[in-house]
Chain A
């Protein structure tokens, strides 16, 4: 599973990070790092929950 990161839409809510800090990494200002995220096996549910808590719809779950 992959998380597509729409970096321009991130407004720094850090909701994804607060659920799964190891999957969603933030810069010093609290915005998500650019680039899609390859979700490690076994962490799909957590990644999905993190993505679905983003109020800006900046994270998109992509099955591959």
Chain B
């Protein structure tokens, strides 16, 4: 008989000693919390153990997951794509539409042909070419609120910046930015109904963009995909749509959240802010350290067959969660992991995951953060949290920050 814990079902094969009441959605600092630190709040798992446990109610829809807390074990899972599949049918579950997010939901060996196609589009060198446009956007936004002496980072900077860079990448003109911002906002922060509507709107927009580029090719991303081939055949519309939708899903909320957490850190750690102001070369390593300390995503995998890992019985169909924010505070991997040291060396953080599915957009995301911080620090004098304001942080599938009011003299 399956046992119950915290109102959720624990499958028979899970040893009761490995069940923990743990959730990314509930519990201290996972629900919206004023001035919270959701990533730090989870690092207790390294002190209390066990290194791998079962959390009975740990998804949006109330399913249980295994939680792998050590960096080494996460690496083992994420590199073993034969057992741990990345295809969860996210859109199918949400919209009833069979739309695999390519390449995230495609497992190796098929995965590699899509990655080979897409990697050059987002390679470090390609990102060099996108930097000027991203910088111009950051400067324009910052100059827009500089004189006010205050800003709300998420609405005034983080989201418009991330959305602007995405539109530039997509080759869509800037006058659609506000429309996109609205969809992004509803999709990532709306009610369930708003989320579903926004997802549909995004899918429909991408469909019409694909149709337009079929008629009128241009020098842009969708046209590139339309002309591309895998294994000697063109991509199907569904595959193109899957790529475009994935980029939207993956590139907006995550970048905006990172901008928010980084500026929140600098506003509340004036010594770190001063340090960066005094040493521009430190910005690059600092961005890596802030990615480590404020990682926002977890990788979810589904076991496709029964598998025993270090004595833990995993059954086909089990979900395995590999949270980056927890691996990145693993004391076996990082000395003094809860200390944030902007100059940290040997920083093998996993904010962009490990293995074949390593984030395709990581080089662009990293550059957006560097450019964003460089311009913010260069143009805005010493800033702090606005008096009387409290930023609300939260856990969930993508950790984030709802609002961040800053002030300067």
B-binding residues in A (CB < 8 A): 11-15, 17-18, 26, 28-31, 49, 52-57
Contact = CB atoms under 8 A, between A and B. Distances in A.
B347 interface: yes
A55 B357 CA distance: 13
A50 to B, nearest CB: 10
B78 to A, nearest CB: 9
Interface size class of B (residues with CB under 8 A): 20 to 34
Interface string B108-131: 000000011001100111000000
Interface string B22-61: 0000000000000000000000000000000000000000
List 9 tightest A-B contacts by C-beta distance, closest first. A29-B119, A52-B346, A30-B123, A11-B358, A55-B348, A14-B124, A28-B120, A29-B120, A30-B119
A55 B354 contact: yes
B124 A30 contact: yes
Nearest to A9: B79
Interface of B: 75, 115-116, 119-120, 123-125, 284, 345-350, 352, 354-356, 358, 362-363, 366
A47 to B, nearest CB: 13
Interface centre among A49, A52, A56 (most CB of B within 10 A): A56
B397 to A, nearest CB: 22
Contacts of A56: 75, 354-355
A56 B355 CA distance: 7
Contacts of A53: 346-348
Nearest to A52: B346
Given A52-B345, A53-B347, A11 B356 contact: yes
B328 to A, nearest CB: 10
Nearest to A54: B348
A37 B65 CA distance: 42
Interface centre among B115, B116, B123, B349 (most CB of A within 10 A): B123
B311 to A, nearest CB: 24
A17 B362 CA distance: 14
Contact of B349 (A28, A49, A55, A57): A55
Given A29-B116, A55-B350, 8 more contacts: A12-B119, A13-B352, A17-B124, A18-B124, A28-B120, A54-B348, A56-B354, A57-B75
Contacts of B366: 18
A57 B354 CA distance: 10
Contacts of B123: 26, 28-30
Contacts of A14: 124, 363
A27 B366 CA distance: 19
A18 B346 contact: no
Contacts of A55: 348-350, 354
A49 B345 contact: yes
A31 B358 CA distance: 12
Contacts of B124: 14, 17-18, 26, 30
B230 to A, nearest CB: 14
